[in-house]
Structure 1
Amino acid sequence: MNTKRWTYRTTLSESQQIQAEALAKSINVNPFLGQLLVQRGITTFDEAKDFFRPSLAHLHNPFLMKDMDKAVARLLRAFENNEKIIIYGDYDVDGTTSVALFYGFLKKYYTQLEYYIPDRYTEGYGVSWQGIDYAEQQGVKLIVTLDCGIKSADKVAEAQRRGIDFIICDHHRPDQHLPPAVAVLDPKREDCPYPYKELTGCGVGFKLLQALCEQGMGDEEVLYQQLDLLVVSIAADIVHITGENRALAFLGLKELNKHKRPGINALVALAGLRNELDINSVVFGLAPRINAAGRIAHAKEAVRLLLSKDKTEAEAFAQEINQHNSDRRNFDTSITDEALNMIREDEWMLSANSTVLYKEDWHKGVVGIVASRCIEHFFRPTVILTNSHGKAAGSARSVPGFDVYEAIEACSDLLEQFGGHTFAAGLSLPVENVDAFRKKFNDIVSERIRPEQLTPLIEIDMDLDLNAITPKFYGIVKQMAPFGPENMTPVFASHQVRMSGNPTLMKEKHLKLEVFQPSPQGPTKYTAIGFGMVDFYPKLMSGKPFSIAYTIEENTFRDKTTLQLYLKDIRFEEG
């Protein structure tokens, strides 16, 4: 049983407590909800109104993005001269939804258009030499990249020499020198004044289309119908769901639930999703299936599925992709087992502050997932590598609060390529450097990581009396969705909790119990579910009071909906 560290996201100051009480009164909600809102930076009636009612009015002017005017001018020139254009996207969910959205919308107005997605295994991440050769053979004059390109300066320069222009739409951290493209749209550029920095690659492409519509090339109303694809990218890429992303996600979920395109409908059926889609069901139900196409076969299949207008065709594509997802799960399970055994059987690895594993026959498409699985067991920054074209290549994942990208960057003398974000990165290096990299990476992690970052963390929003949980209370919490980074599902803690009766064991590993807190008015009892928490069973049977950390969810069974607590951890007082 892993010991977890409980920490409170924000402790409100005295003046913030007063603000929270005033806000709760002004919008007529429970004081606990006022606190939740102030913790999220919402302190006034108007801010609360904007938060609870996201709208198109909350989208920024696309021309605030650096180079947007150049990108629009170059596209308009291409349309005028009837030039061939390639829409070039990455092979993950953000990349494939970007291509489906951008190509699908523009194709309604312009026909000299095709899309290109590199093969994960033969071409790798970003703009590829094969992609440039293909564009030259086809007489293409303009390539628009989506969710990639910011790290492809050499390829863009070569394409320019061959008479091919680039417009780059990316959201990854740029290098010091930008590619020599006609326009580089990336809100993370240091010289970009765009007010919101956390767009996905699909979001940046959407802003370019929005700018085109403002110039009369396309109908904005038709563009907003593509927000169903944009919310899939936001959910899958695990970006902040604040500001503009929150409005895009909120409106995208509405579109996703109202007008399911045939491809999404087919995936929903195969994933067995019966309720209204939310961020969670996209992350766990749709995204892995869309991603599986690029991991196991070719990501073009995912784009074909998302663009399909025919129900029968979409169902056939979805079946193929679902099979890829089943294959992916099998690879994922067997490789994770191998990886965990490698750690357990190596004394040095067991005591290290990081994990770096290499095996030449592991499937490259699942190494990122395996890294995440290893962190569930050994909570520390993790790199999983396999052989790809004679190099060690793979993915890194991190733990909350530790920048794995910077740690990898500090080992750049041993690497050939790397790129990514704070919590996830990709890299490649000569196979003979793996041992040196393992040691250096562990040294860097050991220098920089704080001891508490090596313990699983539960971030709690606030302490809550169980008796405060009512359908009205939950109704407001529910309206705080869509949830995601920087606006996570609220986690509550309740203390001196007791159990009514004995806990039930489900499938020998999950717990189901009735909990309450003693109260003069008589206790309200709630069902609590603890997945994978069977180890707590003996202590619960002692009858001593305990503390719980949990989220509140709805559970519908036989057409009856009740509130349920989903446990994140249980704590017993020492002594």
Structure 2
Amino acid sequence: MTVAELDQPEAYLGVHRSLTGRAWRERAADPELVRRHQLSLGLSQPLARALASRGIGHDDGPDYLNPTLKALFPDPSGFTDMDRAAAILVDALERRRPAVVFADYDVDGASSAAQLVRWFRSQGHELSIYVPDRLTEGYGPSPAAFRRLKDEGAELVVTVDCGAAAHDALACAAEIGLEVVVIDHHLMRGDEIPPVAALVNPNRPDCRSGQGRLAAAGVTFVLLAALNREARRRGLFGDRPEPDLRQWLDLAAMGAICDVTQLVGFNRALAAQGLKVMSAWRNPGLKALLEVAKSQGPASVFHVGFVLGPRINAGGRIGRSDLGARLLSTDDPEEARALAEELDGLNASRKEVERQVTEAAIELIERQSNQADAPVLVVAADDWHPGVIGIVAGRLRERYRKPTIVIGVDRAANVGKGSGRSQPGVNLGRAVQAAYEEGLLLAGGGHAMAAGLSVRPDSIPELREFLCDRLAGEAEAASAADGLEIDAVVTTAGCDRGLWQDFQRLAPFGPGNPEPLFAAADVRIERPMALRGGHVRCTLVDRSGGKLKAVAWRVEDSDLGRRLLQEGGAIHVAGRLKPDDWQGREGVQFEIEDAADPRSV
């Protein structure tokens, strides 16, 4: 056992190394805080403990369990340049200036653009939408794009989910007399604020809003409140009703969930209340997308993150980049249906491209000497589609439990485009920035958990060696700390609908509020079955004879999957409870995340 491993908390159920290579630990909680939550909020002990373990203090419990906009909505004026941005946009409304919303090509950009378009439409003014093409234009505004918009008659451009770091493009806009308002949330380098009419970003160095966790869709929703306030001050609601912003909470929730933001504070309220609004399925685009995906029911994080979000993103990944923004903005059910069907088809194609690249990347890793044992995986090949390399990097990170960079090489252009995903404790963005400063990259940057880069193909081996050397220490410590934090031990008989519903009071789940993880000790596997897609289904049986349906996703060719396909012999399992409503049964199933053999933990 290494020194780093000795510093870790005591293993839960004695599991120091599971079948996925992780230690299990009980999620830490202050016993006194647990008791106070039980008494003041009337919670069961396991639920009170889960609340305390998520860092929720005694006074914050009520708002956490019932997050409301009234209690958590920030003052728009607390955002630097928010009032100025609102004044510029209401001026544009009053003067009917030709204005364009310039959006990023992902869900956050699309849902941000749709909010602005819908607010202006409610006031009788239509905004145009421009989304750059991922392959030909790259991310964010460019001088060429701004010149094009200016030539086409635009007087004002509002960038959403991009623009804060586009110094060259913003300088160009200033030169050609194109007014720009930036609505963004990405980290900014240094203290320099680019020349722009207004820049609203809770992560700009001089913003004191304390809302740096928001996605762009959340920042845009606050902007809508500022627009209402400014328009009300000018008396613009005399001949038409003031827009009820709550109708667009579904769009704010889309951005918050799909951009994988921390679901705490105001952001948690946006997600929770937005899912309630979404459940009515009044947005024609979301309703059409749900129907073509053959899904149904009240909106959930699952719907947003795994049904709707990937389809909206598919346009920007391998299709037309503006499809998502158009879908979320339209009020025409027929147009919504056509766009939804196109996105659904693109998503099917995206999944096939992703599968091919993932399989090829795994084969390369396994074949290359010592690659799988390296502290950082850097895998590259010709013609891997740049629209899927980020997803593939995430898949490989899950499989190998280490930072991963996937690079698609364009030989004709002599450039490789890469995307990376990291493990907690390994700052991949900082290392990529260091590689850029060393001259190993054409471009590169990001944050701790994700990064992007451009590199000459012949520099890839040197880049791999640089990153492995630089991140070896962080990766070793992260590997030792890598573990599952368990909320409670349960029996198969105790895993029922009541337990699931009790813990649903902590929803919505996401970063900052992890979905509860349960462990079941000494269970047997019965009737294991390999499913299409590499999934494994089985039944868990404990010593008392209680039975529980279970499934594990994409594990068939892993140590975990191979063990689950074996009957006999007790094992410990860890996972999440999920509703099982097949044929109206209103039961639950256990979604297995990990397992451990008690004889070799």
With the length of structure 1 as denominator, give the TM-score of the two structures: 0.91
- For residue 386 of structure 1, what is the aligned residue in structure 2? 408
Q: CA deviation at 1:477?
A: 0.7
Question: Which consecutive unaligned segments of at least 5 residues does structure 1 have?
Answer: none
Asked if 1 retains the 8 angstrom alpha-carbon contact of 2:528 and 2:564, the reply is no
Higher deviation after alignment, 117-126 or 50-59: 50-59
Q: CA deviation at 1:455?
A: 8.5
2:216 to 201, 219, 223: 201
**Structure 1 segment 276-287 matched on structure 2, within 5 A:** 276-287=298-309
Q: CA deviation at 1:99?
A: 1.1
Q: Distance in 2 between matches of 1:469 and 1:20?
A: 22
Asked if 1 retains the 8 angstrom alpha-carbon contact of 2:19 and 2:594, the reply is no
Which amino acid is the alignment partner of residue 374 of structure 2?
A: A
2:504 to 469, 478, 481: 478
Change (3 A) 1:213 1:29: same
Within the alignment, does 1:547 sit opposite 2:568 as a pair?
no
Q: Distance in 2 between matches of 1:339 and 1:86?
A: 40
Change (3 A) 1:19 1:220: farther
- For residue 47 of structure 1, what is the aligned residue in structure 2? 60
Kindly tell me the number of residue pairs found equivalent between the two proteins.
563
Question: Which consecutive unaligned segments of at least 5 residues does structure 2 have?
Answer: 1-17
The superposition leaves residues 450-472 of structure 1 with CA deviations (integer Å, 9 ceiling, x where unpaired) of: 34428864232234466655544
Asked if 2 retains the 8 angstrom alpha-carbon contact of 1:460 and 1:490, the reply is yes
Asked if 1 retains the 8 angstrom alpha-carbon contact of 2:143 and 2:170, the reply is no
Q: CA deviation at 1:524?
A: 5.2
- For residue 558 of structure 1, what is the aligned residue in structure 2? 583
Asked if 1 retains the 8 angstrom alpha-carbon contact of 2:402 and 2:475, the reply is no
Which amino acid is the alignment partner of residue 66 of structure 1?
A: T
- For residue 288 of structure 2, what is the aligned residue in structure 1? 266
Change (3 A) 1:81 1:260: closer
Within the alignment, does 1:255 sit opposite 2:310 as a pair?
no
Within the alignment, does 1:64 sit opposite 2:78 as a pair?
yes
Which amino acid is the alignment partner of residue 422 of structure 2?
A: S
- For residue 346 of structure 2, what is the aligned residue in structure 1? 324
Q: CA deviation at 1:286?
A: 0.9
- For residue 336 of structure 2, what is the aligned residue in structure 1? 314
Asked if 2 retains the 8 angstrom alpha-carbon contact of 1:228 and 1:252, the reply is yes
Within the alignment, does 1:34 sit opposite 2:48 as a pair?
yes
Q: CA deviation at 1:220?
A: 6.2
Q: CA deviation at 1:77?
A: 3.2
Within the alignment, does 1:352 sit opposite 2:342 as a pair?
no
Asked if 1 retains the 8 angstrom alpha-carbon contact of 2:25 and 2:486, the reply is yes
SS state at 1:558 partner = helix
Which amino acid is the alignment partner of residue 570 of structure 1?
A: A
Q: CA deviation at 1:567?
A: 2.0
The superposition leaves residues 139-180 of structure 1 with CA deviations (integer Å, 9 ceiling, x where unpaired) of: 323211101111111210121011112211111110112322
1:459 to 481, 485, 507: 485
Q: CA deviation at 1:236?
A: 1.1
Q: CA deviation at 1:560?
A: 1.3
Q: CA deviation at 1:125?
A: 0.4
With the length of structure 2 as denominator, give the TM-score of the two structures: 0.88
Asked if 2 retains the 8 angstrom alpha-carbon contact of 1:418 and 1:427, the reply is yes
- For residue 592 of structure 2, what is the aligned residue in structure 1? 567
- For residue 104 of structure 2, what is the aligned residue in structure 1? 90
Within the alignment, does 1:292 sit opposite 2:307 as a pair?
no
Within the alignment, does 1:536 sit opposite 2:551 as a pair?
no
Q: Distance in 1 between matches of 2:101 and 2:505?
A: 37
Change (3 A) 1:370 1:529: closer
Q: Distance in 2 between matches of 1:538 and 1:277?
A: 33
Change (3 A) 1:4 1:161: same
Please give the root-mean-square deviation of Cα atoms over the aligned residues, in Å: 2.4
Q: Distance in 2 between matches of 1:384 and 1:333?
A: 14
Q: CA deviation at 1:348?
A: 4.3
Higher deviation after alignment, 504-513 or 117-126: 504-513
SS state at 1:22 partner = helix
2:536 to 497, 510, 514: 510
Which amino acid is the alignment partner of residue 562 of structure 1?
A: G
- For residue 151 of structure 2, what is the aligned residue in structure 1? 137
- For residue 368 of structure 1, what is the aligned residue in structure 2? 390
Asked if 2 retains the 8 angstrom alpha-carbon contact of 1:227 and 1:255, the reply is yes
Asked if 2 retains the 8 angstrom alpha-carbon contact of 1:379 and 1:454, the reply is no
Q: CA deviation at 1:227?
A: 1.2
The superposition leaves residues 34-73 of structure 1 with CA deviations (integer Å, 9 ceiling, x where unpaired) of: 11111123333x5322122222212111111111122122
The superposition leaves residues 368-388 of structure 1 with CA deviations (integer Å, 9 ceiling, x where unpaired) of: 112122223333211122245
Q: Distance in 2 between matches of 1:25 and 1:468?
A: 23
Within the alignment, does 1:20 sit opposite 2:20 as a pair?
no
**Identity rate of aligned residues, in percent?**
30
- For residue 4 of structure 1, what is the aligned residue in structure 2? 21
Q: Distance in 1 between matches of 2:459 and 2:109?
A: 31
Which amino acid is the alignment partner of residue 210 of structure 1?
A: A
SS state at 1:96 partner = helix
